[in-house]
Amino acid sequence: MHIHQINFPSLLLGLGGLVFLYVASKKFPKLPNTLFLVLGSIVLVTVANLSSLGVEVVGHIPPGLPSLIIPDPALLDVNILVTLAATVFLISFIEGYLFASEYAAKNRYKIDKNQELLALGISNIAVGMFQGLPVAGSLSRTAVNNESGAKSQLASIVSGLIIMLVLLFFTGIFTNLPHAILAAIILFIIKNLVDIPHFKSIYHFSKIEFSIAIITMLFVLFFGALEAIVIGVILSVVGLINKMYNPHIAVLGKMPGKDQFLDIKRRPEAKRIPEVLIVRVDGSQIFLNNEDIKNRIFELIENDYKDTKLLILDFEATSFIDHSGAEMIEELYCEFKLRGIKITAANIYGPLRDSIRKTELEEEIVEGTIPLTIEDCIKLWENEKS
């Protein structure tokens, strides 16, 4: 829409900066090429008087450090302050942590979310007393540090000290630094964060997650980062709830010659034991999915496995069960007991076993104090029959 407003000297200067950085990074990767570009562009703008051709420059930077001022909350609208603070915190912490995670993965080091949050909080408290802008993890600064070979926090300390010296004594040098060169530096540095292969891997892994990623990206472009984060979180939670609401329910069969029981749909060679139905719910059993799980088990027995005399609930893939989930299993127990079908539980471990102990299920479907395998449950049932 504004292409007719292009300033061609600025455009050529910016493109020239990009070309210089690209070539210099290939030929001389160990040299401070960004610094050379900044100083060279200042000399060029000054000597050739490019400002007269419409090339915008940084201009006058007041020397000195900001003074200490204790904020007076009485002068502020608290409602606006809290809203803005929450917005800044949400964006700065999430973006900063994402950038940190990205570079941690690239450079093979670990980061601590709590430490990041603590550093962000202390930094913002400090900067608030010196009339500063809110502090956050800077994508461009991180990228510059990474490209420059920085390995520890010492790089930031040295950088901060140099900036303090510049602010005190050398701000005049940067008066003629063109905006186009600053833009070229940032564009060149962050190009590696445009990760198309990552989107491809998300697409092949999950079409739903890929859709969420694309929608979130579009919201960033058209509405802003905060709106995108909110919609991304909402969509992710909806997707998670959908998966929890519709858990995968597998009917297991025994592998020939092995004490191993696998999903008969995925492994056709696994054979069902006559009069025995082994059901595994892949996921937690909570109020969201209890009704669906119960109905699915009833359908299996009433339609596909009418000869069932023993129902084994395999809890190997269940990490959590809430009170409504326990009540659902008790309902199954009472109903199938009237039909002459025995229910027993296999592979109940750890916290799940602790939850079961708090209900009547401990006596009804758990055989003994030691967690039983599927094979154990079948042998006990066969012994009872004989």
Span 34-53, average pLDDT: 93
Confidence of residue 76 (pLDDT cuts 50, 70, 90): low
CA pair distance 316, 250, nearest whole angstrom? 12
**Structural tokens at position 93:** 């912490």
**Span 179-212, pLDDT tens digits:** 999 999 989 988 777 778 888 999 999 999 999 9
Instruction: Examine the pLDDT at 74 and tell me if it is beyond 70.
Output: no
CA pair distance 242, 288, nearest whole angstrom? 9
Which of 196, 203, 176 is closest to 46 using CA atoms? 176
Q: Can you give the pLDDT at residue 250?
A: 93
Q: What are the φ/ψ torsions at residue 260 (nearest 5 degrees)? A: -130, 135
**Structural tokens at position 342:** 């025995």
CA pair distance 214, 198, nearest whole angstrom? 12
CA pair distance 264, 378, nearest whole angstrom? 18
Instruction: Examine the pLDDT at 361 and tell me if it is beyond 80.
Output: no
DSSP 258-281: SS-EEETTT-TT-BPPTTEEEEEE
Confidence of residue 13 (pLDDT cuts 50, 70, 90): very high
CA pair distance 139, 187, nearest whole angstrom? 11
Q: Can you give the pLDDT at residue 66?
A: 83
Confidence of residue 269 (pLDDT cuts 50, 70, 90): very high
Compute, in degrees rounded to 10, the torsion defined by CA atoms 86, 88, 94, 97: -120
What secondary structure letter does DSSP report for 67? P
Taking CB atoms within 8 Å and a gap of at least 24, the contacts of 11-14 are: 11/180, 13/41, 13/44, 13/50, 13/55, 13/178, 13/180, 13/181, 14/180, 14/181, 14/183, 14/184
CATH for the 247-385 domain, from 3.20.20.20, 3.30.750.24, 2.40.40.20, 2.60.40.1180: 3.30.750.24
Cβ atoms within 10 Å of 317's Cβ, excluding its own: 14
Question: Which residues fall within 8 angstroms of residue 157, CB to CB, at 6 or more apart?
Answer: none
Chain-centroid distance of CA 349 in Å reads 29
pTM recorded for the entire structure: 0.61
Instruction: Examine the pLDDT at 68 and tell me if it is beyond 90.
Output: no
CA pair distance 153, 160, nearest whole angstrom? 11
Cβ–Cβ < 8 Å for 24, 31: yes
Cβ–Cβ < 8 Å for 288, 241: yes
Question: Which residues fall within 8 angstroms of residue 251, CB to CB, at 6 or more apart?
Answer: 263, 264, 265, 272, 277, 278, 279, 300, 305
**β-pair partners for 312:** 278, 344
Looking at the chain, which residues constitute the CATH 3.30.750.24 domain(s)? Answer: 247-385
CA pair distance 82, 89, nearest whole angstrom? 10
**Span 308-347, pLDDT tens digits:** 999 999 998 888 888 888 888 888 988 998 999 999 989 8
**Structural tokens at position 364:** 């009804």
What type of residue is 1? Answer: M
Cβ atoms within 10 Å of 117's Cβ, excluding its own: 14
Instruction: Examine the pLDDT at 267 and tell me if it is beyond 80.
Output: yes
**β-pair partners for 254:** 261, 271
Span 249-268, average pLDDT: 91
